Structure 1
Amino acid sequence: MEIVKTFGKYVDRWCETSSEKARWLLKTGWEAQNLKFRLVPDRRLNKSDQYMAGLMMNVMLQPLKHAEQSVLVSVFTPCELMQEVGLYPYNVESFSCYLAGSQAERAFLQSAEDSGLSETLCSYHKTFIGAAESGLLPKPRCIVYTNLACDANLLTFQRLAELYHIPLFAIDVPSGRNEDNIKYVAEQLRNLALFIEKTTGRKIEEESLRTRLDRSRRTLKNYNMFQNQRADKYIPSDLVSPLYSGMTNNILLGTQAEEKYTEMLLQEIRKAPAKKGKHIYWMHTIPFWSDAVKEALLLKEEAQIVGCELAQVADITKTSDDPYEEMAMRLVYHALNGPISRRIEAGIQHAKEAGADGAVWFNHWGCKHTLGGSRIAKKRFEEAGIPMLILDGDGCDRSHGGEGQTSTRLGAFLEMLGDNDYE
């Protein structure tokens, strides 16, 4: 991301005098990085992860290039309906990740806090709000979000709708897993289809939507199959590819590009060499910028991240012939919907399937759901035979990094895994 950093450090500075100039600079830097991904990919990674790096950069660039064809979404919003009318997903968490990767997040965080936002609000949301209110981020066509799984959604998207003066649609997902709630959410999604048709002037054809949902189902099955097959395999892993999977398995679910990615994963796993080192399953977001985490886990044979819970939030056993009900099932049976026990049990299941020797529960600053469940999670994981490290930090804001403590605790955890068989 060196090209991105070179451009990114000037972005917040230029925002003070010309937001359009700063946006052009950001777009230019990201386009240069995307060109590098195509011409000089990181050959330490498998082809699938090289492909995903370019795909994800395209996702970031589309709203900057075609703002009028973009829709601002929360990360777990079902995007198949928007894809049917040609809207590009414009996501708070992923966009803020890229601003952080460009080392441009600090000024936007400070701007958001200066405007009255709490220091304890999620840094991904604060970064995006600060960038939007500075004029850096273009006005999208509309906003669609859910109450999953972040309480910051309720503040962020209302505030941005008022800032941009654009229509907003909120999907309410009850925590109870029952037929009534599936029907309730499905009816909201049918109303969302009407909202999108009215907003764009384009028609959503149910047969085409059903075909797209079939693709979503295949994609999720492919990804879970890949995760199940990697338990005894070695796959080089950086710190961003697991996050890419978390983003694309949500906001790009239903696209041909995302299905192709999972097909590439399955092709590669068949040829992958035998397992090397320790497998680490990561719960919540990953501080990809952290030197301490890089030192321990970036493309290391001794230990690799073999999965991130954000990529495996759907219960793939729940299906329906009705595309609206199937999307509703994905939300109602979402791993992060409802009590923390659901999230923990899903994490344990997926960690075991990926052959995890240990797990990290990352206490992202400002995420109350994660912070509040950490001690219960550690107890449950270890009862299931998976040692767990609770690691405090921030996925987006470097000022909450605690690099010394991260290095010491993560290093000691990996050393413990290497010294002991934890059955």
Structure 2
Amino acid sequence: MNYLNIYSTVINNFLKKNKNAYYLLKLGIFIGKNYVKFFPDKRLPKSLRYLHQITFDWTYKGMTSKRCVWVNLFAPAEILLAFNLDPIFIEAISAFLSGLGLEDELILRAESFGISESFCSFHKVFIGAVLSNLLKKPKFLVATSSICDANLNTFRFISESLKIPFFFLDVPREYSKEAKDYLKLQLKELVSFVEKETGSKLDLHKLSRIIQIENQVRSQMKECLELLGKKQIPTTLTFEMFMLYTSHTFIGKEETLKFYKMLVEDLRNAKVRDKKGVFFIHTLPMFEENFKNLFNFNKDLTIIGMDLNYDFLEELPTDDPIEALSIKLLKNPYNNDFEKRIEHIKKLISLTSPDAVIQVCQMGCKQSIGCSMLFKEEFKKLDIPFTFIDVDCVNKKNNNHGQIKTRLEAFFESIK
């Protein structure tokens, strides 16, 4: 008996009948977070078992807490953590709901409300969940203009639909003193906004401590990259995606530092890499059957990493945390032009020495689809096998599984 399928069917029936399924969803997440704590997957190293626990815990808080705040992946969540708030990035919630098999009904709800069919499914699923009253109303919303041009429209729509406050950060594309000052002013306005919404004052010492933890985390990340070039651990597409929690929204948490220290230790003790190593660009299709069959605990292939999990690796100043956050947002290679992004990816490639690179082009994402041919040219110069594949990471019905299988088989046949 597949209990997850039964649970999914029950929630879908609630959604179809316009019944409130929030408490049913909350119960499922509560059971899930305790299940992974007491019955961890023994195939995984200790670090990834711990990652499973903390991501479930953060997801539960972000979807049920009275202090939850919805953000995008690149929002300066450090400020929110300094106020003891519970941020959660909307892409994580969408992926979680898709994992429960709820995406069809939620996408239908969003599209019936006028959301375009070509709109990113990560955002459509989330909008559908909001329209279905499937999620607890957050205190407020915070988003940036970084990378994804759907952020402003999605968060504005949610703000208007739920009648909740929304703060938007306009991040300039080029780094300069003027851009830094402009962004610092916005970040100070964000602090004032959060102080007003929470009734609390920002503790700058606490924010500085969060930046200090971030710096320690990045030091561990760099060691991970060097080890990933030589070692391998059993993993899955899902756990690489879980690392978006620790590399972005929760990077300043003590639990994150503990995870990366554990990961470094696991890699040090791991066997030397004897499988074909694949590095991913943009995202991972953790629900697509062909990718799952190829990469989850595979005896011939191993996932080395994903570029977004190592997008910013510089040490930040801790004496002025607001300036540190402005530097981080502005200097992120994915906030700049293609040249900055490819140069950063080349550094990651030189550290990890993959046998192949795959760019996953998320359906509806112009940012990923638009640079595929440029990547192809660059990796040809490096003499590294590269391919790009169009996949919908959330809407499973949107994928041509036969075509994806053919593309993957042909690609890996060429690198044997």
Does TM, normalized by the shorter one, top 0.5? yes
Does structure 1 residue 11 correspond to structure 2 residue 11? yes
Query: How many angstroms apart in 2 are the aligned matches of 1:19 and 1:72?
Result: 23
- Aligned mate of 1:234, from 232, 235, 240: 232
The percent identity for this pair of structures is 28
Query: How many angstroms apart in 2 are the aligned matches of 1:25 and 1:310?
Result: 32
- Aligned mate of 1:410, from 393, 408, 413: 408
Query: How many angstroms apart in 2 are the aligned matches of 1:320 and 1:173?
Result: 21
Are the aligned partners of 2:277 and 2:304 in contact in 1 as well (CA < 8 Å)?
yes
Judged with a 3 Å threshold, the aligned counterparts in structure 2 of structure 1 residues 60 and 133 are, in CA distance, closer, same or farther, namely same
CA deviations over 1:160-187 (Å, ceiling 9, x no partner): 1111111111111110122221222122
Judged with a 3 Å threshold, the aligned counterparts in structure 2 of structure 1 residues 6 and 310 are, in CA distance, closer, same or farther, namely farther
CA deviations over 1:18-43 (Å, ceiling 9, x no partner): 543x1111122222222221121111
Are the aligned partners of 2:392 and 2:399 in contact in 1 as well (CA < 8 Å)?
yes
Query: How many angstroms apart in 1 are the aligned matches of 2:204 and 2:320?
Result: 9
Are the aligned partners of 1:283 and 1:308 in contact in 2 as well (CA < 8 Å)?
yes
Which residue is 1:51 aligned to?
A: 50
Equivalences for residues 55-94 of structure 1 within 5 A: 55-66=54-65, 68-94=66-92
Which residue is 1:421 aligned to?
A: none
Equivalences for residues 359-398 of structure 1 within 5 A: 359-398=357-396
- Aligned mate of 2:204, from 203, 206, 222: 206
Which residue is 2:189 aligned to?
A: 191
Classify the secondary structure of the residue corresponding to 2:344: helix
Classify the secondary structure of the residue corresponding to 1:363: strand
Query: How many angstroms apart in 2 are the aligned matches of 1:65 and 1:332?
Result: 32
Give the drift of 1:267. Answer: 1.2
Are the aligned partners of 2:98 and 2:395 in contact in 1 as well (CA < 8 Å)?
yes
Give the drift of 1:367. Answer: 0.5
Are the aligned partners of 2:145 and 2:169 in contact in 1 as well (CA < 8 Å)?
yes
Query: How many angstroms apart in 2 are the aligned matches of 1:43 and 1:113?
Result: 41
CA deviations over 1:140-167 (Å, ceiling 9, x no partner): 0000100111111010000111111111
Which residue is 1:168 aligned to?
A: 166
- Aligned mate of 1:356, from 349, 354, 357: 354
TM-score (norm 2): 0.96
Are the aligned partners of 1:315 and 1:333 in contact in 2 as well (CA < 8 Å)?
no
- Aligned mate of 1:135, from 119, 130, 133: 133
Read off the aligned partner of 1:36 and give its amino acid letter.
Answer: Y
Query: How many angstroms apart in 1 are the aligned matches of 2:110 and 2:270?
Result: 45
Read off the aligned partner of 2:122 and give its amino acid letter.
Answer: Y
Classify the secondary structure of the residue corresponding to 2:141: strand
Judged with a 3 Å threshold, the aligned counterparts in structure 2 of structure 1 residues 4 and 98 are, in CA distance, closer, same or farther, namely farther
Classify the secondary structure of the residue corresponding to 2:154: helix
Query: How many angstroms apart in 2 are the aligned matches of 1:80 and 1:6?
Result: 38
Q: How many residues align?
A: 415
Give the drift of 1:322. Answer: 1.3
Which residue is 1:36 aligned to?
A: 35
Are the aligned partners of 1:247 and 1:310 in contact in 2 as well (CA < 8 Å)?
no
Which residue is 2:151 aligned to?
A: 153
Where does the alignment leave 5 or more consecutive residues of structure 1 unmatched?
A: 419-423
Classify the secondary structure of the residue corresponding to 1:240: helix
Classify the secondary structure of the residue corresponding to 1:349: helix
Are the aligned partners of 1:229 and 1:269 in contact in 2 as well (CA < 8 Å)?
yes
Read off the aligned partner of 1:378 and give its amino acid letter.
Answer: K
Query: How many angstroms apart in 1 are the aligned matches of 2:401 and 2:48?
Result: 27
Give the drift of 1:4. Answer: 4.3
Does structure 1 residue 289 correspond to structure 2 residue 287? yes
CA deviations over 1:40-88 (Å, ceiling 9, x no partner): 111111111111111111122113321x301110111111110111111
Which residue is 2:116 aligned to?
A: 118
Query: How many angstroms apart in 1 are the aligned matches of 2:217 and 2:189?
Result: 26
Read off the aligned partner of 2:401 and give its amino acid letter.
Answer: E
Give the drift of 1:312. Answer: 1.2
Are the aligned partners of 2:63 and 2:88 in contact in 1 as well (CA < 8 Å)?
no
Read off the aligned partner of 1:185 and give its amino acid letter.
Answer: L
Judged with a 3 Å threshold, the aligned counterparts in structure 2 of structure 1 residues 63 and 318 are, in CA distance, closer, same or farther, namely closer
TM-score (norm 1): 0.95
Are the aligned partners of 2:245 and 2:251 in contact in 1 as well (CA < 8 Å)?
no
Query: What's the RMSD between the two structures over aligned residues?
Result: 1.5
Classify the secondary structure of the residue corresponding to 1:259: helix
Are the aligned partners of 2:357 and 2:385 in contact in 1 as well (CA < 8 Å)?
yes
Give the drift of 1:319. Answer: 4.0
Give the drift of 1:354. Answer: 1.6
Read off the aligned partner of 2:279 and give its amino acid letter.
Answer: Y
Judged with a 3 Å threshold, the aligned counterparts in structure 2 of structure 1 residues 374 and 41 are, in CA distance, closer, same or farther, namely same
Classify the secondary structure of the residue corresponding to 1:299: coil
Which residue is 1:250 aligned to?
A: 248
Read off the aligned partner of 2:145 and give its amino acid letter.
Answer: N
Query: How many angstroms apart in 1 are the aligned matches of 2:18 and 2:206?
Result: 43
- Aligned mate of 1:278, from 276, 279, 291: 276
Give the drift of 1:351. Answer: 2.4
Read off the aligned partner of 1:209 and give its amino acid letter.
Answer: L
Give the drift of 1:415. Answer: 2.2
Judged with a 3 Å threshold, the aligned counterparts in structure 2 of structure 1 residues 6 and 48 are, in CA distance, closer, same or farther, namely farther
Read off the aligned partner of 2:41 and give its amino acid letter.
Answer: D
Are the aligned partners of 1:4 and 1:101 in contact in 2 as well (CA < 8 Å)?
no
- Aligned mate of 2:220, from 219, 222, 227: 222
Read off the aligned partner of 1:41 and give its amino acid letter.
Answer: P
Are the aligned partners of 2:68 and 2:85 in contact in 1 as well (CA < 8 Å)?
yes
Read off the aligned partner of 2:100 and give its amino acid letter.
Answer: S
Query: How many angstroms apart in 1 are the aligned matches of 2:384 and 2:319?
Result: 37
Give the drift of 1:300. Answer: 1.0
